[in-house]
Structure 1
Amino acid sequence: MNKTTISLFKQKAMQLASIYEVCCCLDSNNYTDPYSQYDCLIAFGVQEEIKINAGEAFSALKSFHESNKDWMFGLLSYELKNETEQLTTNHEDQLEFPDLYFFVPKYLIALQGDEIKVLKGDEGIIDAINKVSLANFSSSADVKIESRFDKKNYINTVEKLQAHIKRGDIYEVNFCQEFFANNAKINPLAIYQELNELSPTPFAGFFKIYNHYIISATPERFLCKRGNQLISQPIKGTAKRSTDLIEDEQIKINLKSSIKEQAENVMIVDLVRNDLTKSAVQGTVQVDELFGIYTFPQVHQMISTISCELNPEVHFVDAIKNTFPMGSMTGAPKIKAMQLIDTYERNKRGAFSGSFGCISPDGDFDFNVIIRSILYNSNRQYLSFQVGGAITYAAKAEDEYEECLLKASAILKVLGGV
């Protein structure tokens, strides 16, 4: 099969999958990656499922996997922080995503190169997908985007957080703001396909959990397990791209050599290293790549790779718990940063800055970071997307605000915003 045929098959498979009450697509968009098993996975139909809020969620997931040594796809909400640490959240929850949701699919299709494999379900599902007539979905969205912060309030809040840094409470915090729409009417699959076309990323995905949708163009991996190796790839450092090739190359060079961006990145690398030591064979935590520059349609990003050998006495679910929530979306020190996030942000994060991904029958897994993502509750017709960045002592509040708008640009374009 050529690329066009594979692309057409993927669209048809997604259309069929989205008819089911639960489906999940994880798409690498053909970015090469030494850790990914497949280019794209499409899972749909519920064979078994678990839905639970913070409290005993990780132990419940462990039991669920023991009972179902099978493929499973699921969501880890940011609110699981209330289980991993002594934390609470007082903000209103408009989206109402579960804190943890996993399902064993009835059908699982894998795409790898020019091959299509049925990993779960009857082979006849391939014929059913090929017979799908692609609907001419309209991706036009009836939404009125509002923001929790205007520019002045955002800048004032950043300055308050920097006062905490000056006092020594923290040295970095990931501060986010929500853009939202009430009475939002969208076609989630059509919006996903347009967003994925405009901003293809290596950890993109579409996750439908009954009336809840995650429409994601995330470039970031949270945590991956391959055999006895754990890999984390935090992103810290962003620069806007240029249409001028020479200028674009210079922007990459400037990002790579930026002392400010390197400082932000290395703080989180150190935090991830510390998190991984809780699950690692002693002495195996290492930084495989520091300050790698990777290019995406709207931005260049600084990404580092940290890995370790998983201690055989540590269950892989505990390895996830030991690193959750991811340092790139919290800050350092982690607990104090999360307390300040809850104090200064104006909404509950919920699924945002959590993770979704898959676990294979042998206990390998791959999970992304839910950023550059639209969250949608179709029952309440509430739509939300959040953007943020690392606030450090050296951060300029106005620049951070502009970076937020840059990160939101693809989503705003798809939703018909500015």
Structure 2
Amino acid sequence: MLRASKVFTIENPQEFKMKLLHWSEQFREVVFLDSNQYHQKYSNYEVVLAVDAFTSIKTDFYNAFDDLHQYQSKTQDWLFGYLSYDLKNDTEALTSKNFDGLAFPDLFFFQPKKLFFLKENHVEMQYLNLCNDELEEDFSAISNTNSICDFATLREIKIQQRISKEAYLQKVSKMLEYIHHGDIYEANFCMEFFAKDATINPIEIYHKLNAISQPPFAVYFKNYHQYLLSASPERYLKKKGAKVISQPIKGTARRNSYPILDEQSKVDLENNPKERAENIMIVDLVRNDLSRTSTKGSVEVEELCGIYTFKQVHQMISTVVSQVENTTSAVEIIKTTFPMGSMTGAPKISAMKIIEELEETKRGLYSGAVGYFTPHGDFDFNVVIRSILYNAKNQYVSFSVGSAITSEATPEGEYEECLLKAKAMFEVLK
């Protein structure tokens, strides 16, 4: 379907961004992607908003990638949505039998009636032709939306831990046994924190979570009563033309308020042998995944163990790229690399089997990916980490945290790392 397009000039982009998000809340389907003005080599937009499904696809893992390919081929339009971690069961002989309190579909995408692309002091609005007479009217309504909301105080949320500390230490010890026996080199082990009978204001929680770290791949996602509030710093996979880009994160160091000590923290991270080994293991896995669809000899490591600074932490990020033929479908590239190596381990299939055995919660959208396809078959997806998931219908709130277990790991050290990663989510849910 054709889209009507119009570009409007805006005086205050940051304020307009907030107005846009609050205006979007009237719709059943919302995907709001915010780079928080974090400009990097592969950035396209500062903010993208997609609302109001014209068509959609919702399915469990069975034949999910084939169904998505058919849907994407048929629509040849912008599609926004998510891939849950459990799509692993569509590509390998794997299962997901752990507890699921959220009950999200394994895959959901929609073709939005209304699209917004914010860059500098301009917003481009692209509407399906059935809505094109609403362009001016909506811009006026957004401009007049109150961007500052007074949030009502809701009742206290009682957060519980799915795996006790004692059980966590035992499970990591078991994972280390698998490593010492040579079954795996590395695996990402996660645990869930949750609250029952919980009522939250999703936009308020998203604002608070995003403000803490202002990451480059933040997401506010809504599908009726299902929400994702994500402060993700990590790109899973992007395709632009014939080029495919993966940017796995492994390696984290805290920021310091003293500039000299903060700089030293970066140097220490860059030279930390354990962090470098974790990152390089995942780079090797990503190279192998990309080679399944790449043109011969085109997979290369564009940057190995680069150090990037965010509001709260320094991160070690590598960039792996490849070239693909124009006959290779977008969904095939995703299918052969999913789930991402940074959230699984190496070897990948063995790691996922052990993860399923030792974890106690179905990951679902956590450690999956949110993003979009363009009408021309390009795409961009994040990694769903540092995120809160909420099912308003059954009043269940969930967030998970994890760490990479290698032969160098100690159960106590990994437990402390998980609590550190959970800190922001605890803060915003107080």
Which residue is 1:167 aligned to?
181
TM-score if structure 2 supplies the norm length? Answer: 0.94
The equivalent of 1:36 in structure 2 is 43
Q: Higher mean Cα deviation, 194-203 or 136-145? A: 136-145
Matched, 1:98 2:105: yes
- Paired letter, 1:380: N
Partner Cα distance (1:181, 1:276) in 2: 38
Give the whole-Å Cα distance in 1 for the aligned partners of 2:79 and 2:153: 29
Does 1:321 find its partner at 2:335? yes
| 1:251 and 2:258 matched | no
Which region of structure 1 is more displaced relative to structure 2, 55-64 or 215-224?
Answer: 55-64
**What amino acid does structure 1 have at the position aligned with 2:275?**
E
Q: Does structure 1 retain, via aligned residues, the 8 Å contact 2:212–2:312? A: no
Match of residue 57 from structure 2: 50
Deviation string 1:372-409 (CA, Å, 9 cap, x unpaired) is: 00000000100000000100001122221111122122
Aligned equivalents of 1:226 and 1:68: distance in 2?
A: 19
- 1:203 pairs with 2:223: no
Partner of 1:390: 404
**Aligned partners of 2:80 and 2:9: how far apart in 1?**
28
* Compared CA separation, residues 2 and 71, structure 1 to 2 (3 A): closer
- Residue pair 1:27, 1:41 contacting (<8 A) in 2 also: yes
1:139, 1:190 within 8 Å by CA — same for their partners in 2?
no
Q: Tell me the equivalent position of 2:198.
A: 184
Q: Give the deviation of 1:16 after TM superposition.
A: 1.4
Pick which of 403-412 and 337-346 moved more: 403-412
**Structure 1 residue 259 displacement after superposition:** 0.6
What do the CA deviations read for 1:122-176 (whole angstroms, capped 9, x no partner)? 3222112112234323476631111112322222211110000000000000000
In structure 1, give the amino acid aligned to 2:36: N
Structure 2 distance, partners of 1:142, 1:73, is 33
Matched, 1:110 2:117: yes
1:409 match: secondary structure: helix
Partner of 1:359: 373
Among 383, 391, 396, which residue is 1:377 paired with?
391
In 2, the alpha carbon distance for the partners of 1:294 and 1:213 equals 29
2:291 paired with 1:287: no
Distance 1:4 1:155 in 2: 53
Structure 1 moving runs of 4+ over 6 Å: 1-4
The alpha-carbon deviation at position 2 of structure 1 amounts to 10
Secondary structure in 2 aligned to 1:260?
Answer: helix
Please tell me whether the aligned partners of residues 142 and 186 of structure 1 are also in contact (alpha carbons under 8 angstroms). no
**Does structure 1 residue 22 correspond to structure 2 residue 29?**
yes
CA distance in 1, matches of 2:242, 2:120: 26
Instruction: Give the equivalent residue in structure 2 for 1:132.
Output: 145
| In 1, Cα distance between equivalents of 2:153 and 2:264 | 36
What letter is aligned with 2:403? G
1:52-108 CA distances to partner (integer Å, 9 max, x unpaired)?
A: 111111111111112211111011000100001110111121101111100011111
Matched, 1:226 2:240: yes
Question: What is the aligned counterpart of 1:85 among 85, 89, 92?
Answer: 92
Aligned residue identity for 1:112: K
> Using the alignment, how far apart are the partners of 1:248 and 1:141 within structure 2?
38
Deviation (angstroms), 1:4: 8.0
CA positional deviation for 1:119: 2.3
TM-score by length of 1: 0.97
1:30 corresponds to which letter in structure 2? Q
Q: Deviations over 1:159-212 (max 9, x none)?
A: 110000000000000000101111111000111011111221000010001111
Distance 2:198 2:14 in 1: 29
> Compared with structure 1, are the counterparts of its residues 216 and 139 closer, same or farther at alpha carbon in structure 2 (3 Å cutoff)?
farther
Partner AA of 1:165 in structure 2: I
Distance in 2 of aligned mates of 1:282 and 1:66: 26
**CA deviations over 1:331-352 (Å, ceiling 9, x no partner):** 0000010000010011110110
> Residue 407 of structure 1 aligns to which amino acid in structure 2?
K
Alpha-carbon separation, structure 1, partners of 2:294 and 2:199: 46
CA distance in 1, matches of 2:74, 2:90: 23
Aligned counterpart in structure 2 of residue 310 of structure 1, from 314, 324, 332: 324
Question: 2:250 touches 2:316 (CA, 8 Å); kept in 1?
Answer: yes
Of stretches 233-242 and 205-214 in structure 1, the one that deviates more from structure 2 is 233-242
Whether the 8 Å contact between 2:221 and 2:229 is mirrored in structure 1 is yes
Q: What is the RMSD computed on CA atoms of the aligned residues?
A: 1.5
Distance 2:237 2:323 in 1: 13
* Greater Cα shift, 135-144 or 360-369: 135-144
> In the TM superposition, what are the counterparts of 1:53-72 in structure 2 within 5 Å?
53-72=60-79
- Which deviates further from its counterpart, 214-223 or 36-45? 36-45
2:17 to 10, 23, 26: 10
